[in-house]
Chains A and B, each alone.
Chain A
Amino acid sequence: TQLLEQSPQFLSIQEGENLTVYCNSSSVFSSLQWYRQEPGEGPVLLVTVVTGGEVKKLKRLTFQFGDARKDSSLHITAAQPGDTGLYLCAGAHRDAGTALIFGKGTTLSVSS
């Protein structure tokens, strides 16, 4: 079974701090997505990375796909309370077919 391990599981920081969330696996993924989920809502797609070494930026969020396509990171610069939520990574793997393999998520709390 392919697993996506996310770390840390919980993160509580002050507004203005920087943080990084990691998503690691021993398997190679064809693509990897990051989602953010707010309490009581469904996950919302933030970004998809496909190429090894790829870096994508979304305002203060920077996403990187590892060179070997086994891991990814999400870096947030100058976090704001609006960044609070559950961050999920999910990978597409040939053995999973049309389904995605999800990490268990990182719960981020940013206080002002």
Chain B
Amino acid sequence: DVKVTQSSRYLVKRTGEKVFLECVQDMDHENMFWYRQDPGLGLRLIYFSYDVKMKEKGDIPEGYSVSREKKERFSLILESASTNQTSMYLCASSQDFFSSYNEQFFGPGTRLTVL
């Protein structure tokens, strides 16, 4: 079974702090994704990566950056956390379309609160 793990389930940070969210997958997937999920807004894509050191902006990249130095690890960075970044953050990975029809496998999520 695919396993996607996230470094923390719950995180509380202060406004202005730099925040690192880590995601690791163990199935050698090419693609990795970061979403945030808010009530009434659904899942919104922040960034995704289709290869090591490659990244693409999603729908809401402002205030975030990412890093993918190794295939299995994808990090989301909040350069200066703000209260409007309080949310549930979900990481996912997928194999290429022709192997898997873009099926995504999600981690358990990190509930981030910015005070």
Do the two chains belong together in a single complex?
Answer: yes
Decide if A99 touches B106 in the complex (CB within 8 Å).
Answer: no
Main secondary structure of the interface of A (DSSP, over half): loop
**In this complex, what residue of B is CB-closest to A103?**
B42
Chain B residues whose CB sits within 8 angstroms of the CB of A105 once the complex forms: 42
**In this complex, what residue of B is CB-closest to A47?**
B103
Chain A residues whose CB sits within 8 angstroms of the CB of B25 once the complex forms: none
Chain B residues whose CB sits within 8 angstroms of the CB of A50 once the complex forms: 101
Chain B residues whose CB sits within 8 angstroms of the CB of A45 once the complex forms: 103-105
Decide if B108 touches A99 in the complex (CB within 8 Å).
Answer: no
> Which of B33, B45, B58, B102 lies at the interface centre, i.e. has the most chain A CB atoms within 10 A of its CB?
B102
A42-B90, A42-B109 known; A99 vs B33 contact (CB < 8 Å): yes
Q: How far is the CA of A43 from the CA of B106 in the complex (A)?
A: 6
**In this complex, what residue of B is CB-closest to A42?**
B106
Contact-residue size bin, chain A (C-beta under 8 Å from the other chain):
20 to 34
Q: How far is the CA of A30 from the CA of B90 in the complex (A)?
A: 24
The count of residues in chain B whose C-beta lies closer than 8 Å to any C-beta of chain A is 28
A95 at the interface (CB under 8 A from B): no
| Interface set, chain B 43-67, CB cutoff 8 A to A | 43, 45, 48, 50, 56, 58
A68 at the interface (CB under 8 A from B): no
Decide if B50 touches A98 in the complex (CB within 8 Å).
Answer: yes
**In this complex, what residue of A is CB-closest to B105?**
A45
For the complex with contacts A45-B105, A50-B101, 17 further pairs of A-B residues with Cβ separation under 8 Å are A33-B104, A40-B111, A41-B108, A42-B4, A42-B90, A42-B106, A42-B107, A42-B109, A43-B43, A43-B90, A48-B101, A97-B50, A97-B56, A98-B97, A99-B33, A104-B40, A105-B42
